[in-house]
Structure 1
């Protein structure tokens, strides 16, 4: 029987409930028995195989009774649990098990080799702190410094990073060490202003400190390694300055001249949320998912009943640091793979993180015992105004029609030690999709000797060096362009090239041509702004009835800087996805991670986009016209081995980044750095899909004088009556009075019989005179 909520069956894309997480835990405890301890790392929905899900979605959007039958017959409710099996030897065996909640049995179990390290969990971070506090090795390291008596020690756990070629270590964790000025009696006092030049390294499996790495604190021209330790403790923080950001500790008063801006929706929100996670708004429809690693995910994204994406998600982010002094050559975070953005999602607060009429989504996650815990308000849903959507002024009649571009925003925010990231999916009334990232928080800093500067970063405060680094993101798109049918979506790279002058075809040299390059095999490429390289996702079978072109969507990869580390470096080997802006791979169930599933302590990428491209999947085969729903699992190169190329549906990965060479203005907390991907319809519709957006006048807007005071409302003059041959709008609100102070263009329209005649009608002469007065300031004729 299907898992149900009362009399209602659970949708196959519905996030896990607390009951389901508990049931999965019970199945695993029974499976392993009493002689093993289980340390849970993550528990999440194992999404249905693509072929099965497509069959269900086709039925769901058509015949709901058929969908219910498909749900009952072929879509088991599967849960994937990642955990360590700890036996009497205290060795940890990382295990992934998929359990079937319907049958109460194990569906699939995988024991991973020791080199595969999963992401860190919150209990591990706490254990690291405990080991440091009780470590004599760490205590002796602190005694090398003369620390003012009013300071306490703060430790930020960090991933150990990539292993050196000669390293073979168990699960390690390291920490960046800071001090906090406790004399301020405020736990929010900024400890990042006081870095210590040591990094403790812990063996998590055996819960012991194994070494303390000493850090070089010199500047330009100094050695990459620290000098020998002296016998006299080094005095710290003698010239350091506080760098507070919480309001009560600021060294300056808060601004008093900012008036409130309120987002008011007197009639409530325009969106609806059904079945807890089914969202509908302005012809858009999708299901919201949430995973411990990715955070918010959009499933089955449709516009007006037409599918666009089967799945849309933020897949990975790597943050390589550019300081070559050991051990910073290993300083590289994979925030999705090493920590998990879903696990680090903030509990959002009304009126702070999202404004307006807000709907929050909670998520059930598993703790280290496998028990469900409720993460409150981890995703917010709201509408926002993004300025003018479209506008046109008819200069002949002085009439303007203007609409607003409204967006539906799905947003979540994560905190990973010092950094915050804001991730948002934005859908708009013109059928557009925008994916947005915002980086903020506090830059990662290390100690530097007083008075010195460094080529490896910027001194943002006395004794504080903010290291140069990059943030490189990967977005995963599983397209379903106007069809769920496998193999129907085609990827085309479209470029605009100048044409040479030619007496017959381009005599004046102003022409340019468009070249279309279909992507027929898994590959990678880069942004090319000189050619306006555009990625088009098209339905290979459906044509736009107006243009005759294939219906689809498009986006232009941003020409942001890619990974700067040497191709032979540890950093580059771990994140080859960061070396190209675009990857197109063949779909395989469960392949969701641009850098592979296991990034923690990796030596190189395994199972990421580079591996996917290398196996050689292809997307087009001559003579095949109907590929069928399971086409993605089509013919292989001679056998069924999963690492061989096969006929597949394309998956698109867009990579973009931020090279962050810190500024003093980034201290002590950085303003947001914003990047957006704009995915727009390209011959998907037969006209502007936002034509039906009302252009109602906003009556809450007020006129403000030059001195910032609100002036009394005055009735604006109505526009002049349109000419008789112009059909008036049925609503006065769509007409903007006196929209322009000048007139432009070729002049007023004129009857064909008066063309070439010095005589026109009185009305035509009057309108011509008005036009010329506006253009030249004086009357003619």
Structure 2
């Protein structure tokens, strides 16, 4: 059941009893905490369990034994355990000695989730390490080790904390065997330096860049009270942070009217398209495997947001099980939006080689934009000199950047003037010439389809398919249409892995651009609660939609799936330029007029003109 209460630092876990008490007595519910832990028996195999504790009453109100066949989310200290296991493993150290590394180079092991278990594989908790060498001759700890990939992957049994297997990687190209190891012992001799930190860039950084400063001499237009309540330009909402999803918006209202109950990034999967084993397992679920919030950056003034900024802290769990403050993980600031302004709630996560920026942008016209930006370093493997590959693009000598996809899922829990909503989609279709009804052939009709039951649907730009979340019980006085919000899903490419394969089965949520499901407690994750080493998406939107619940005039949830098919360019090396994707939610007959019509038109007195000629540079005040 949904609770209309103040969300605290972590997500509240609700129950029917608490919901009834709130409705009757309008009082704040008891604080609930979810505890996640392993029980280790005589067989030494951890059994994952979860309990919900009433903190006020100091009692357990719910308990669930997840079992030994499901892997809980990884913990970041397990990555350190992998590195330590590599250092202790004689077999791995001997394997590294097979390579003749250049003088002054040191081994780097980058921990990764193991990926999906192959059919019939023993269900152990594994982690793997991608291996590189770092040139320490320059005495700079930030030297780019990705430029020197090694064709070897150690695999650790997380329970034993031992390296149990070493995968040898193919290094060939077109025409070579899928398992062929064509490299010599001097596997890095043909690789080249690819530095990106400013002090190491060949030729240095540009000298003709002048600063652009955002100044707000009168301060910001927003205010933050009660730790999490944000009020700005008729908008009000709560912002929270949790270790899995990062920043989440709650109880989003415009001029007091309810728009959204909750909005979050639910999941992201990154499947790789290199057909050579073991790369079919190379598929991260960056929210479900380890938690985006756990990997959120500590933002710094003047670097990540501009102008007058409010930072929010988060709380994560340390290796000792104690809460740990994660400072400055969310920034709040205003930006120019062309005509009008927008308020931005932003967080940034770094996941090994990649970096993602997620932002919720609210504008003065009642619109909400979800923006995702991707940058970082493409994941690479070693390739023999002079070779090219069907599995990726050679971006530097000896460096193959593998083809892959980034597929995101946003979860939107709408509350358009209440929780009983309906999703419809509208398409615009041409109409044949008709002497009576379309004498000049220029008429086109709008076809409306109501989504009656939970299901998956797709973008259709050919027919300009637009989805609307409406409140059928409330009509716009001018148009007579139900009030609502609309969005056009990005018509991005869906998952390319063949149906029925490991990658496809683990990410069934990626089969459609839009899912509409009926709200149920604890259904927050597009790929299900447990993604680490999964073989099949369980409890995700695919299963939710399969219930065929009635979602017309109901408390529903809308899921939007979009992504980037990334076939790397040389220009993506050593750090890729940013890729930007935006999904816009706009009011549709929700208001009686343009809600931004009362936004004042002001002249920016700080703006100046610049005149450049061969002899001088003069500034003129506008």
In structure 2, relative to structure 1, the CA distance for the partners of 1:197 and 1:13 (3 Å cut) is farther
1:236 shift after superposition = 2.1
Which residue number corresponds to residue 604 of structure 2? Answer: 698
TM-score, structure 1 normalization:
0.77
User: What does 1:452-467 align with in structure 2 at a 5 Å threshold?
Assistant: 452-467=387-402
Alpha-carbon separation, structure 1, partners of 2:31 and 2:500 = 44
Assess if the C-alpha contact under 8 Å between 2:355 and 2:374 holds in 1.
yes
Query: Aligned match of 2:432 in 497, 500, 518?
Result: 500
Assess if the C-alpha contact under 8 Å between 1:45 and 1:80 holds in 2.
no
Which residue number corresponds to residue 417 of structure 2? Answer: 482
Which residue number corresponds to residue 65 of structure 2? Answer: 111
Alpha-carbon separation, structure 1, partners of 2:516 and 2:71 = 27
Q: Tell me, yes or no, if structure 1 residue 537 matches structure 2 residue 469.
A: yes
Alpha-carbon separation, structure 1, partners of 2:611 and 2:211 = 17
Q: Tell me, yes or no, if structure 1 residue 282 matches structure 2 residue 217.
A: no
Which residue number corresponds to residue 620 of structure 2? Answer: 712
Which residue number corresponds to residue 142 of structure 1? Answer: 96
Q: Tell me, yes or no, if structure 1 residue 441 matches structure 2 residue 376.
A: yes
1:52 shift after superposition = 5.9
Which structure's residues are more often strand, by fraction?
A: 2
Deviation digits for residues 583-616 of structure 1, max 9, x if unmatched?
Answer: 1111110000101111110010100011011111
TM-score, structure 2 normalization:
0.97
Q: Tell me, yes or no, if structure 1 residue 152 matches structure 2 residue 152.
A: no
Query: Aligned match of 2:458 in 526, 530, 549?
Result: 526
Q: Tell me, yes or no, if structure 1 residue 468 matches structure 2 residue 364.
A: no
Deviation digits for residues 66-94 of structure 1, max 9, x if unmatched?
Answer: 8xx4234xx22111121222356532121
Q: Tell me, yes or no, if structure 1 residue 306 matches structure 2 residue 249.
A: no
Query: Aligned match of 1:607 in 528, 534, 539?
Result: 539
SS in 1 for 2:608: coil
SS in 1 for 2:349: strand
Gaps of 5+ in 2: none
Alpha-carbon separation, structure 1, partners of 2:182 and 2:484 = 63
SS in 1 for 2:437: coil
Q: Tell me, yes or no, if structure 1 residue 596 matches structure 2 residue 528.
A: yes
User: What does 1:364-379 align with in structure 2 at a 5 Å threshold?
Assistant: 364-379=315-330
User: What does 1:258-269 align with in structure 2 at a 5 Å threshold?
Assistant: 258-269=209-220
Which residue number corresponds to residue 413 of structure 1? Answer: 348
In structure 2, relative to structure 1, the CA distance for the partners of 1:50 and 1:313 (3 Å cut) is farther
Which residue number corresponds to residue 14 of structure 2? Answer: 48
1:47 shift after superposition = 3.4
Which residue number corresponds to residue 741 of structure 1? Answer: none
Assess if the C-alpha contact under 8 Å between 2:409 and 2:562 holds in 1.
yes
Deviation digits for residues 655-679 of structure 1, max 9, x if unmatched?
Answer: 0010000011111011110000010
In structure 2, relative to structure 1, the CA distance for the partners of 1:188 and 1:54 (3 Å cut) is farther
Deviation digits for residues 316-356 of structure 1, max 9, x if unmatched?
Answer: 00000000000001110000001100000000000000111
SS in 2 for 1:577: helix
Query: Aligned match of 1:15 in 8, 19, 29?
Result: 8
Q: Tell me, yes or no, if structure 1 residue 70 matches structure 2 residue 26.
A: yes
1:416 shift after superposition = 0.6
Assess if the C-alpha contact under 8 Å between 1:492 and 1:537 holds in 2.
yes
Deviation digits for residues 371-408 of structure 1, max 9, x if unmatched?
Answer: 11110000000001122x2xxxxxxxxxxxxxxx2110
Assess if the C-alpha contact under 8 Å between 1:148 and 1:236 holds in 2.
no
Alpha-carbon separation, structure 2, partners of 1:223 and 1:252 = 40
SS in 2 for 1:382: strand
Query: Aligned match of 1:162 in 116, 119, 126?
Result: 116
In structure 2, relative to structure 1, the CA distance for the partners of 1:50 and 1:269 (3 Å cut) is farther
Query: Aligned match of 2:244 in 286, 290, 293?
Result: 293
Q: Tell me, yes or no, if structure 1 residue 357 matches structure 2 residue 308.
A: yes
Query: Aligned match of 1:200 in 143, 146, 154?
Result: 154
1:702 shift after superposition = 0.4
Structure 1 stretches of 4+ moved >2 Å: 10-16, 44-56, 69-72, 85-91, 226-229, 706-714
Gaps of 5+ in 1: 1-9, 17-43, 60-65, 390-404, 622-647, 715-781
Assess if the C-alpha contact under 8 Å between 1:318 and 1:471 holds in 2.
yes
Alpha-carbon separation, structure 1, partners of 2:362 and 2:191 = 46
Which residue number corresponds to residue 366 of structure 2? Answer: 431
Which residue number corresponds to residue 586 of structure 2? Answer: 680
Assess if the C-alpha contact under 8 Å between 1:12 and 1:77 holds in 2.
no
Alpha-carbon separation, structure 2, partners of 1:440 and 1:51 = 46
Query: Aligned match of 2:196 in 245, 249, 257?
Result: 245
Assess if the C-alpha contact under 8 Å between 1:13 and 1:289 holds in 2.
no
1:467 shift after superposition = 0.2
SS in 2 for 1:128: helix
In structure 2, relative to structure 1, the CA distance for the partners of 1:595 and 1:287 (3 Å cut) is same
Alpha-carbon separation, structure 2, partners of 1:432 and 1:354 = 21
1:12 shift after superposition = 4.2
Assess if the C-alpha contact under 8 Å between 1:163 and 1:602 holds in 2.
yes
Alpha-carbon separation, structure 2, partners of 1:135 and 1:11 = 53
Q: Tell me, yes or no, if structure 1 residue 662 matches structure 2 residue 568.
A: yes
SS in 2 for 1:537: strand
SS in 1 for 2:571: helix
Assess if the C-alpha contact under 8 Å between 2:458 and 2:513 holds in 1.
yes
Alpha-carbon separation, structure 2, partners of 1:536 and 1:121 = 39
Assess if the C-alpha contact under 8 Å between 1:534 and 1:554 holds in 2.
yes
